[in-house]
Amino acid sequence: MDISTVSGPQARSLPVNRSPRGALQGKKRTGLSGFSRQRIRTAWLFLLPMILGLACVAGWPLLRTFYLGFTDSSLSNLDGANFIGFENYLVYDQGEWYGILADSLWWRAVGNTVYITLLSVSLETVLGVLVALILHAKFPGRGLVRAAILIPWAIPTVVSAKMWGWMLHDQYGVINDLLMSLHLISSPVAWTVNPDTVLGTIVAVDVWKTTPFMALLTLAALQMLPKDCYEAARVDGIHPIKVFFKVTLPLIKPALVVAVVFRMLDALRIFDLIYILTSNSEDTMSISIYARQQLIDFQQVGYGSAASTLVFLLVFGLTLGYIFATRLKFDGSGDH
């Protein structure tokens, strides 16, 4: 049989002997076929290792850290700990405040971390954009230069810290030697010991190591820019510097903002560089160093965990604040 059109009422009614067909009509369909349901089930199965892994090895330890922060446990006595509420954070005892929030060293660490982060991230953003602009131009050997600037990013922080530690050495370091022969300083400076220079030194080394990351992300953004804007600007005879600020910068800003978030996250949890370069010196203590010192060196797991919790909150808070302030959209809903 042939149904010529569905517009007439006669076309819609099927012959009586077909009555079993359409029997499902009454049942509510979920809108998903067995095949799709199977597919979604498989998807969850595929996600299971990741979810389990993240939950057990990241989520659970995080929760434990939160919990341990409210106990007086120590490294030698992890199990027999007592719940002590907020005492690790702040407690008033016999006319004195105790706890992390009353510890001037903690606040110093916070100050150092924020100082390093702000200075380092802003310096490397500016430098990174400059480097990206250089690498965006066409010149012979560009690939090699690009690979060369990647190297500082790729090597272990321990290595870069050691290399700079050596170069900044007060007696035998190259830096002092160079600066003295250029008559920029009159006597050797103990860069990594002198409280006046040490933070700046750390920022300088950090900038050296992480500018490539910024530069490459910026470069990628530059390479995705439409060419016609520039041609239009060139035809109009606008000064290149003006073009950069009026055209280029606004266009690469979204990519830059993302790169800054990544870098900020990294800088806020800075550990290796300071640990190697200046060890546990109070002048340079970062929040991660502070927390780990309490936790492992002083074996005060409870107190250290409380500090770790604060680190987590601080990093998360500052990052979310930044994401919010720049209205960055991190939605993963993009589709194929």
Partner 1 sequence: MKALKRRTGQVLFALAVLALLIYTIFPFYIAILTSLQGGEGSFYLLQDFDFSNYVSVFREQPFFLNILNSALVSFGTVAISLLIAVTASYALARVHFRGRTTLLLTVLGVSMFPQVAVLSGMFELVRLLGLYNNLGSLVLSYTVFSLPFSVWILTTFMRGIPKDLEEAAIVDGATPWQIITRIFMPVLWPALVTTGLLAFIGAWNEFMFAITFILSNEQRTVPVAISMISGGSQYEMPWGPIMAASVIVTVPLILLVLVFQRKIVEGLTAGAVKG
Partner 2 sequence: MSSIEFVKLEKVYKGLSDFCAVKGVDLQINEGEFVVFVGPSGCGKSTLLRMIAGLEDISGGELYFGDRCVNDLSPKERGIGMVFQSYALYPHMSVFDNMAFGLTLEKGSRETIKEKVEEVARILQIDHLLDRKPKALSGGQRQRVAIGRAIVRQPNVFLFDEPLSNLDASLRVQMRIEITKLHQRLKTTSIYVTHDQVEAMTMADKIVVLNQGRIMQVGSPLQIYNEPANTFVAGFMGSPTMNFIDVEAMDEQLSLRTGQANRRFLMPFRHSGPATLGIRPEHIELQPQADAIPVETRISVVEHLGNETLLYLATDLCEQPLVVAVSGEMAPEIGSELTIYLPLERSHLFDAQGDAVKRQGSASVN
Q: Are 207 and 123 in contact (CB under 8 A)?
A: yes
Q: Which stretch binds partner 1 (CB under 8 A): 5-13, 59-67, 88-96, 97-105?
A: 59-67
Q: Can you tell me which of 21, 183, 227, 336 binds partner 2, judged by CB under 8 A?
A: 21
Closest to 186 measured CA to CA, from 194, 195, 176, 196: 176
Q: Rounded distance, CA 283 to CA 199, Å?
A: 8
Residues 131-150 that bind partner 1 (CB under 8 A): 131, 134, 137, 139, 143, 145-150
Residues 188-227 that bind partner 1 (CB under 8 A): 208, 212-213, 216-217, 219-221, 224
What H or E segment, with its residue span, contains residue 91? strand 91-93
96 bridge partner residues: 93
- Quick note: the x/- pattern for partner 2 over 38-77, rule CB under 8 A, is x---------------------------------------
CB of 45 to partner 2, least distance (A): 16
Residues 82-111 that bind partner 1 (CB under 8 A): none
Q: Rounded distance, CA 102 to CA 88, Å?
A: 10
Residue 46 contact partner, candidates partner 1, partner 2, none, CB within 5 to 8 A by sort of partner? partner 1
Q: Rounded distance, CA 64 to CA 79, Å?
A: 12
Residue 226 contact partner, candidates partner 1, partner 2, none, CB within 5 to 8 A by sort of partner? none
Question: What amino acid occupies position 126?
Answer: V
Residues 29-58 that bind partner 1 (CB under 8 A): 39-40, 42-44, 46-47, 49-51, 53-54, 56-58
Note the Cα 299 to chain centre separation in Å. 28
Residues 235-254 that bind partner 1 (CB under 8 A): none
Total interface residues for partner 2 by CB under 8 A: 22
Question: What amino acid occupies position 229?
Answer: C
Closest to 89 measured CA to CA, from 107, 102, 72: 102
Q: Which is nearer to partner 2, 38 or 279 (CB)?
A: 38
